[in-house]
Structure 1
Amino acid sequence: MGFEVEHEKWIQRHLTKRQGERKDALKRGHGYGNRMFAGKIWWPLMGHFIGLHPEYEVRDWRGRSYFVDFMWILGGHLFVFEIMDYGSHGKDRTKYRMDLNRGLFLQSQGCHFIAISLDELKENPSFILAMLRSILAPYLVATIEQSGNILHKFGKIERQLMRLAIRHNRVIRPSKAARELELHKQTVIKYCRRLVDKGKFRAVPAGITGRIYQYEYLGSTQSPDLI
């Protein structure tokens, strides 16, 4: 089905699920700029609205509720997209300051915060589409269920070990990893050997003895397997 049909079904699903202020916020907030983002950026990029929530309620550092334009929930990852209109965000210095503070706070809470200029969206949507495709590339190539959950090819501990290796210049020592991840050393060694078998780690022999004290991560730092 085309964008118009799917967009209408998507909005109606969210309206049906909401009540009170959350429902009113969606009716008020999903206007010209947000609809343009949905049609010119999100639909060409994704081809569906799975995991994307319009006018999503969050709380700021003071505990006060407000609504971001879009929240994309992908497994344990949260992406906030805000369409920034100069007229509403730039002329009012207090509101402008508050918007920036909210963006900083969301990032401090582990959200990926992406602000998009409405003017750029109108005049040069291909630029925004290209930038988002690049930013979201590691997540777009991951296999996703209809529910929006990632189908992992690697277990939780394996992903933790790969990410830990990247943080330590691609090298991991089981004894040190066991302390950082609060696991038994033999458990870490077991999973490191599995990653060797899967082609993600390389065992690094030491000196003339050839004993293995550390492993090297061989994959890409942007691999979807890390998610």
Structure 2
Amino acid sequence: MSYQEAHQVFIQSHINRRSGERRGRLERGHQHAEMLFLQQVWYPLYGHFDDLHPEYEVLDLRGRPYFGDFAYLPGDLKFIWEIKGYGPHVLDMDRKRYCDELNRETFLQALGYRVVSFAYDDVAYRPELCITLLRMLLSRYQPSPSPASVALIAEKEVVRLHLKLARPIRPKDVEEHFSVHHRTAVRLLHSLVDKGWLRPVLRGKGIKIVQYELARGVLDYFD
């Protein structure tokens, strides 16, 4: 099934299940930016629209209806995807609307939704960046569709740990995070150096390696 066919079936199935303002909002609100996100980001990544709900209605902190661009509800997980243009969300926004938007997102987080916003310009002109970020985010919650190497999982977890620490990583950090022996931690770090993911930080006269830092752009590790 082509993207166009899959998209038509997807939208029509939701229209058929809705009535009143929920149906009207979908018919009016599913426009260029939302369709571009599906065509250039979501469908290339997943090839289907399972568990995705367009123009998803929730109540805001004042009890008024709010429609997120998409909700992604696989099992117990709850995400809301928003595609935000620079004009309406920056240039044309006054202080009150700005406060309302931030308060609404915090309220939705309190309800258990994880709200993730994508810039329209990235969706339109840099969809590969959106795909990488989306893959990084959802990989934390979903099992891999095919068996993954334990070593690769460990290596990527070391990179995530390094990013969380926001400083060069030491063998001791790896030891404590994985509860492994010092030699195992050093071996794991050396494997990342051999792959070109990390580079050693030399101290003293340049003969002692005590910590490591990223050797490439962050997104390279999660493609």
Q: Deviations over 1:165-185 (max 9, x none)?
A: xxxx889xxxxxxxxxxxxxx
Q: Distance in 1 between matches of 2:97 and 2:70?
A: 19
1:107 is displaced (CA, Å) by 1.0
- What CA RMSD, in Å, does the superposition of the two structures yield over aligned residues? 1.7
Q: Distance in 2 between matches of 1:170 and 1:65?
A: 45
Aligned to 1:101: 103
Q: Distance in 2 between matches of 1:136 and 1:31?
A: 25
SS at structure 1 position matched to 2:141: helix
* Runs of at least 5 residues in structure 1 that lack an aligned partner in the other structure: 144-168, 172-227
Aligned to 1:92: 93
Q: Distance in 2 between matches of 1:81 and 1:72?
A: 8
* Runs of at least 5 residues in structure 2 that lack an aligned partner in the other structure: 146-176, 180-223
What is the letter of the counterpart of residue 54 of structure 2?
P
Among 111, 121, 124, the residue aligned to 1:122 = 124
Q: How does 1:1-227 map to 2 (within 5 A)?
A: 1-90=1-90, 91-93=92-94, 94-141=96-143
Aligned residues: 146
Q: Distance in 1 between matches of 2:114 and 2:83?
A: 14
1:87 is displaced (CA, Å) by 1.5
1:95 is displaced (CA, Å) by 2.5
Once superposed, which parts of structure 1, at least 4 consecutive aligned residues long, lie more than 3 Å away?
Answer: none
1:28 is displaced (CA, Å) by 1.0
What is the letter of the counterpart of residue 121 of structure 1?
V
SS at structure 1 position matched to 2:61: coil
What is the letter of the counterpart of residue 13 of structure 2?
R
1:30 is displaced (CA, Å) by 0.5
1:5 is displaced (CA, Å) by 0.4
Q: Deviations over 1:196-217 (max 9, x none)?
A: xxxxxxxxxxxxxxxxxxxxxx
SS at structure 2 position matched to 1:136: helix
- What TM-score do the two structures reach when normalised by structure 1? 0.61
1:131 is displaced (CA, Å) by 0.5
Q: Distance in 2 between matches of 1:69 and 1:95?
A: 18
- Identity value in percent: 38
Aligned to 1:147: none
Q: Distance in 1 between matches of 2:97 and 2:120?
A: 17
Q: Distance in 2 between matches of 1:124 and 1:33?
A: 14
